[in-house]
């Protein structure tokens, strides 16, 4: 008996050492296939979320600057302070080099893969299958090398998704460990369970709000693998499950119901209604399934833009019916095939928040980052039931190599912005975001004719898209080309067409170019007409920050027309619409330029109160500008008496 136990220990140790070595090789392999992608640029929401690193003008130099950045996030209702704090580990100023940000994302992806391995190993072992570590390793490797995750790992701001997944998995590991020991040691068991659900659940939710789904994932595990695996039920678990797993979910549903009037207003800024969004999510869920099991070579998944009208009624009906049948089937077989049932229910649970009633965009690859784990772990488990070990390992290795090849190919595109600007618009010709990315790259390289060419191709298919027309107007100004036809089309589209963030920035660029002497056929009255038309767009009114930025464009037009009073009034409007804009600073600056020292001092005092009176993410302008303004006002005050004495 003793010899048998010793043999088992030696075998376990040998297997552990082998897996450690293989795991190290797999980590190196993952770093190798992702490495070319680390040299890519920041994208879209990166600037929106990271520009607070420049809120003080010279980066984060003091604790107050750090707290201002971390505690004033606007990406979600909780602010996501854990994710924002992690960004400060890569840089304390903005703009910054994207390489270290992306390397950190890759390391988080690697750490998440390790947690997936640990959780899957526990689940397979509890289910009673042989060689759980090998099956768990296969699941983690397939997930880690899957190309659908490229747009999460190499898109800097999606670290929020990554950290939410990381803490969720850590919490589930604590939960499962607590359930395993709670029957014989309730105190320690419940401590582990509480730490996992409440502790890591809080960290997950403060990284990204869908971390609040951790209790739902735990409930999936508890009702499938843990129950079917014969895990002893600890004392008071009926009450513990109600308190720790179900009650947080009831509170989440209650919170959504209580705040429904607030998030329903978000649909005013969207091009789809609540019913259209709910209808679209059935087909969208199967898009995620398709991309998980049949990944494509295209690297532009980030630019997949779903429209509700692209799904006919029959497809919506059959998609939701299939989802319902899969859930029912998983619940019915959860005792006979717990791992399969768990995989299906895990996937559905992972999309329970972002594919429901909230007014989010309809599709993003990164939303399947954690839910795809459930779909992927079905693969090795199913193959293990059908194949002997050697064929099984051969098939899994072939799948991993295929996924790695696709990921490596995509990573190379992500790591070279010139290649990406060429490839992505071709892969997604109907994607406005792909067009905007390419325009940004080509304009940054001074290739204005290239930008105009791809904008023209897009407008051939979408002739009335106001955002593309604004980009065309920018390019015509850059090239000093006639703008009359474009402005006429824009007048008709800006007031009633779809609104997208960035339109106000395009108009500001046009104003800057016009003030620099470009597009001389474009009169200020015409520019103001375009700004006013966008200001009447009802979807803009649902976005106060964008409306405030548009008011600042109006202010710049007034300055160009030598109307300082109009500019000051526009800045007041912007400040009222959004606390992110310190309109008082600009009022002080313009008053100083106009020679009104009394008004400049009054506005400067107000600007300092707004910037320093509380933690507030006022980054227009950075706070350091206030010091320069004080110096300018002091110099003007000293100079004014001398000037008056001379007269």
Per-residue pLDDT band for 25 (boundaries 50, 70, 90) equals confident
Domains of the chain: 34-39+97-413 (no CATH), 429-542 (1.25.40)
Per-residue pLDDT band for 625 (boundaries 50, 70, 90) equals confident
pLDDT, residue 52, reads 80
Counted residue by residue, the chain has a size of: 647
- The Cα–Cα gap between 42 and 417 comes to 10
- The Cα–Cα gap between 591 and 571 comes to 12
Q: Is the model's pLDDT at 199 over the cut of 90?
A: yes
pLDDT, residue 7, reads 53
Q: What percent of the chain has pLDDT over 70?
A: 92
pLDDT, residue 11, reads 54
pLDDT in tens, 505-522: 999 999 999 998 888 889
pLDDT in tens, 214-268: 999 999 999 999 998 888 888 889 999 999 999 999 999 999 999 998 889 888 8
Residue 93 is encoded by which pair of tokens?
Answer: 């100023």
Coil/strand/helix, residue 581: strand
Q: Is the model's pLDDT at 6 over the cut of 90?
A: no
Q: Where are the alpha helices (DSSP H) in 128-268?
A: 132-144, 150-153, 159-182, 186-194, 201-207, 214-221, 227-228, 237-241, 247-258, 260-264
pTM of the model: 0.91
pLDDT in tens, 537-552: 988 878 888 899 999 9
Name the most confidently modeled range: 292-301, 430-439, 493-502.
430-439
Nearest Cα to Cα of residue 617 among 578, 586, 585:
578
Q: What percent of the chain has pLDDT over 90?
A: 60
Among 246-250, 344-348, 375-379, 623-627, which stretch is predicted with the lowest mean pLDDT? 623-627
Per-residue pLDDT band for 75 (boundaries 50, 70, 90) equals confident
Q: Is the model's pLDDT at 624 over the cut of 80?
A: no
Phi-psi region of 109 (alpha: psi -120 to 50; beta: other; left: phi over 0): alpha
- The Cα–Cα gap between 560 and 513 comes to 12
- The Cα–Cα gap between 56 and 79 comes to 19
pLDDT, residue 614, reads 46
pLDDT in tens, 271-322: 889 999 999 999 999 999 999 999 988 877 888 888 888 899 999 999 999 9
Residue 225 is encoded by which pair of tokens?
Answer: 């693998």
pLDDT, residue 620, reads 56
- Tell me the pLDDT of the chain averaged across its residues: 89
Q: At what angle do helices 524-535 and 544-560 cross, to 10 degrees?
A: 160
Per-residue pLDDT band for 99 (boundaries 50, 70, 90) equals very high
Nearest Cα to Cα of residue 557 among 500, 495, 513:
513
Mean pLDDT across 393-420:
95
């Amino acid at each position: 008996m003793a010899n048998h136990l010793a043999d088992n220990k030696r075998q376990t140790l040998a297997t552990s050492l082998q897996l450690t070595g293989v795991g190290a090789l797999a980590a190196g392999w993952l770093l190798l296939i992702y490495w070319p992608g680390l040299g890519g640029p920041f994208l879209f929401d990166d600037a929106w979320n990271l520009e607070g690193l420049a809120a003080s003008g010279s980066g984060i130099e003091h604790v107050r600057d750090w707290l201002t950045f971390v505690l004033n996030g606007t990406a979600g209702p909780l602010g996501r302070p854990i994710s924002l704090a992690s960004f400060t580990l890569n840089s304390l100023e903005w703009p910054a080099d994207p390489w270290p940000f992306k390397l950190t994302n890759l390391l988080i992806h690697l750490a998440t893969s390790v947690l997936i391995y640990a959780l899957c190993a526990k689940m397979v072992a509890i289910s009673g299958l042989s060689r759980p570590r090998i099956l768990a390793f296969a699941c983690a490797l397939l997930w880690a090398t899957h190309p659908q995750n490229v747009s999460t790992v190499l898109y800097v701001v999606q670290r929020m998704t990554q950290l939410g997944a990381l803490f969720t998995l850590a919490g589930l590991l604590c939960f499962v460990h607590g359930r395993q020991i709670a029957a014989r040691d309730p105190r320690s068991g419940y401590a582990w369970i509480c730490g996992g659900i409440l502790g890591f659940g809080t960290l997950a939710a403060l990284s990204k709000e869908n971390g609040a789904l951790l209790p739902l994932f735990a409930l999936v595990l508890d009702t499938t693998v843990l129950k079917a695996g014969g895990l002893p039920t600890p004392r008071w678990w009926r009450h513990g499950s109600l308190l720790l797993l179900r009650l947080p979910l009831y509170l989440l549903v209650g919170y959504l119901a209580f705040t429904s009037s607030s998030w329903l207003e978000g649909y005013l800024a969207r091009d789809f209604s609540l019913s259209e969004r709910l209808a679209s999510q059935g087909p969208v869920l199967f898009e995620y399934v398709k991309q998980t099991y049949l990944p494509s070579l295209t690297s532009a998944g980030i630019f997949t833009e779903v429209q509700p009208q692209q799904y006919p009624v029959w497809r919506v009906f059959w998609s939701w019916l299939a989802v319902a049948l899969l859930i029912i089937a998983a619940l019915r077989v959860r005792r006979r095939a717990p791992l399969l049932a768990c995989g299906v229910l895990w996937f559905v649970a992972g999309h329970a928040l972002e594919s429901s009633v909230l007014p989010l965009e309809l599709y993003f690859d990164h939303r399947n980052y954690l839910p795809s784990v459930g779909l992927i772990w079905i693969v090795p488990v199913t193959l293990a039931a059908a194949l002997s070990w050697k064929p099984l390992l051969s098939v899994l290795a072939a799948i991993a190599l295929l996924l790695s090849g696709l990921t490596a190919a995509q990573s190379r595109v992500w790591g070279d912005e010139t290649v990406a600007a060429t490839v992505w618009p071709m892969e997604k010709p109907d994607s406005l975001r792909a067009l905007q990315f390419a325009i940004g790259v080509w304009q940054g390289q001074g290739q204005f004719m290239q930008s105009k060419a791809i904008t023209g191709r897009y407008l051939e298919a979408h002739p009335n898209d106001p955002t593309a027309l604004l980009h065309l107007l920018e390019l015509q100004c850059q090239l000093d080309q006639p703008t009359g036809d474009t402005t006429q089309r824009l007048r008709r589209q800006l007031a009633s067409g779809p609104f997208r963030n960035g339109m106000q920035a395009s108009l500001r660029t046009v104003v800057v170019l016009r003030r620099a002497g470009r597009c001389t056929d474009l009169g200020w009255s015409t520019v103001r007409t375009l700004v006013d038309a966008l200001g009447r767009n009802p979807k803009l009114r649902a976005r106060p920050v964008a409306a405030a930025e548009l008011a600042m464009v109006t202010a710049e037009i007034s300055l160009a027309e030598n109307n300082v009073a109009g500019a000051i009034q526009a800045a007041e409007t912007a400040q009222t619409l959004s606390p992110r804009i310190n309109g008082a600073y600009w009022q002080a600056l313009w008053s100083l330029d106009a020679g009104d020292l009394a008004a400049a001092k009054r506005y400067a005092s107000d600007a300092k109160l707004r910037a320093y009176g509380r933690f507030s993410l006022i980054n227009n302008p950075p706070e350091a500008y206030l010091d320069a303004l004080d110096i300018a006002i002091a110099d003007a005050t000293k100079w004014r008496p001398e000037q008056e004495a001379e007269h």
